[in-house]
Amino acid sequence: MNNTHNIQKGMHELKKAGLTTVTLMSAISIAISGCSGSGGKEQSPQPSAKAEASAKPQDSGTANGMEDGKYDPPITLTTVRAQAPTVKFAEGDSLENNAWTRAYEKEYGIKLKTLWAVDPTQLEQKMNLTIASGEIPDFFQVTPTQFKQLAEADLIADLTDVYNKNASDSIKKLLTEDGDAALKSATINGKLMAIPYTAAAKERSQMVFVRTDWLEKLNLPEPKTFADLLAISEAFTTKDPDGNDKNDTFGLAVDKDFGLLPGFFNSFHAYWGIYVKGADGNLAYSTTQPKMKKAIKQLQDMFKAGQIDPEFGAKNLSKVYETIANGKVGMFYNAPYAGLSPLQAAKDKDPSMEWKAFPILSVDDKPALSQVGVGVSNYWVVRKGVQNPEAVFKLLEFWLKTFYENTSNDIYQQYNTSADGNQVWLLNAMAAYKSYKNIDESLRIIEALDTKDLSKLTPEDKGVYDRILKFQAGDLSNWGWNLMFNKGGTMSVADYYRKNNLYLVNEFITTPLPSMLEKKPVLDKLEFEALTKIILGQSSIDEFDNYVEQWNKQGGDEVVKDVNEWYKTAK
């Protein structure tokens, strides 16, 4: 979305445990996940057509001959896709004739034919129509629900043997970097029926952002305990931190969809909208558990004390971000990318504003764990009967080499981000994301800032490194990049989570069950209405028990039963 490079893919509105949207724009599937720092930066001139024809990423290692294989004569694969409106085509280029499609044909003998392309916001609806017609392309991206429909209709290929024989070691490492959950989620009845479109779920774990300029003004220390956060929230509400002699500031930001609250809940060892293992070994729905009641009670107390916007029940994320930018909130939970959005816009509006991210703080002596989903946003499927299903792994291999393993600036500008900031990477035909891409990038950048040795930086790294230097020289438009990637920034917090394995992963890792699809709208409505009323003080905290009872009666019991039947077969 704008020049913050991959925020198009990653801030997929950070999922509420992988199932519910919680943040930012619906497009960082990951977050700045790959090209985190190059949009619009100054680089060497765009390479010539001759350079494009000759440039080839270094091989990353082979398995079963995948790297060297080229179809002769060339084969043609059909596909459908989203077309990001932000991508500009070079003169003479098109969706079917661009740097990526030419490379696929040159390196692998694969021609691509795009049957249709739509705006990303229309992709799911258009794909539903295509699936309903039964006339599907050779390979394409689908949602978990669409994946399930296609598998049940026997329209997609079993990729088990194709994956084992043709996926390179690099691809297998990418898809299993965070364990085998991603592949398990794409497996139905023991058969690998899709390639998981992996996402950096753990890298998107929530943390708490605090206005440190307000801390300094009120002579408050940085938070080290959850009790500290509560004291800070009270002070931000009652001590006039903005100095306007008005009672118009709030301690904690809350949105109507609870997207900013998973991190808050996690402090209580409560989890929002996921399935967790109980003491009996069975899976339970997290939001109905007793620890959630304690977290909701704390929010009710904070609301009563004026620490939460009384209009939060009517404000979506965009409205809450406006409140933050207007300098009326001093604390909120979000993913690491919040430094870029919404906080950069807030900084642009008020340059005196300063924020810092802190790890989730526990209410007791037990470490708080950040809830995360399985790390799969969508799936790549192959039509049953395609003559060369292994060809899709060549497309994915090229993505891996150019997007992650490349060290050439020329190749970077051809396939990733051009010198003028054009997001060429969005023209790829197939992609998947590493689990900790931006954390690792941050570590390399911090080392380079300390040592002034840039030899380990990729072109993407160098772009962020340059942005940080600009910020240090006084360019506040790059403040968010510094907050995210520099020492003590949001990726440092994310690295702390990784080093200490501070995650609680959703145990439900397969496609939605029929009972979920049927009951979820009713259950979600019940949940939001009941919990919102409790926080607002319109219902007592004891109403939580009635909510749990009603949730079970209105279909929750059936869903949990089905989840556990699946779980027994998945062990």
Domain ranges of the chain: 7-202+375-427, 207-334+513-570
Tokens read off for 107 = 């390196």
Identical fold at 7-202+375-427 and 207-334+513-570?
yes
> Confidence class of residue 51 from pLDDT cuts 50, 70 and 90?
very low
Amino acid identity for residue 547 in this structure: Y
| Bridge partners (DSSP) listed for residue 250 | 329
Length of the chain: 571
The whole-angstrom separation of Cα 71 and Cα 365 is 60
Question: pTM of the full predicted structure?
Answer: 0.84
480, 344 contact by CB (below 8 A): yes
Amino acid identity for residue 127 in this structure: M
Angle 352-354-355 from CA coordinates, rounded to 5°: 160
380, 392 contact by CB (below 8 A): yes
Question: What does the pLDDT average to over 193-202?
Answer: 95
As a whole number of Å, the CA-based R_g of the chain is 24
The bridge status of strand 331-334 relative to strand 376-382 is unpaired
The whole-angstrom separation of Cα 139 and Cα 80 is 8
In this prediction, residue 377 carries a pLDDT of: 87
End-to-end CA distance of the chain: 40
pLDDT at 24 over 60: no
343, 355 contact by CB (below 8 A): yes
The whole-angstrom separation of Cα 465 and Cα 461 is 6
The bridge status of strand 370-372 relative to strand 503-505 is parallel
pLDDT at 48 over 50: no
Superfamily (CATH) of domain 207-334+513-570: Periplasmic binding protein-like II (3.40.190.10)
What is the pLDDT of the chain when averaged over all its residues? Answer: 89
Of the candidates 201, 181, 79, the one whose C-alpha atom is nearest the C-alpha of residue 140 is 79
> Confidence class of residue 55 from pLDDT cuts 50, 70 and 90?
very low
- The domain made up of 7-202+375-427 has a fold known as D-Maltodextrin-Binding Protein; domain 2 (3.40.190)
In this prediction, residue 68 carries a pLDDT of: 60
- The number of C-alpha atoms within 13 Å of 419 and in the hemisphere containing its C-beta is 10
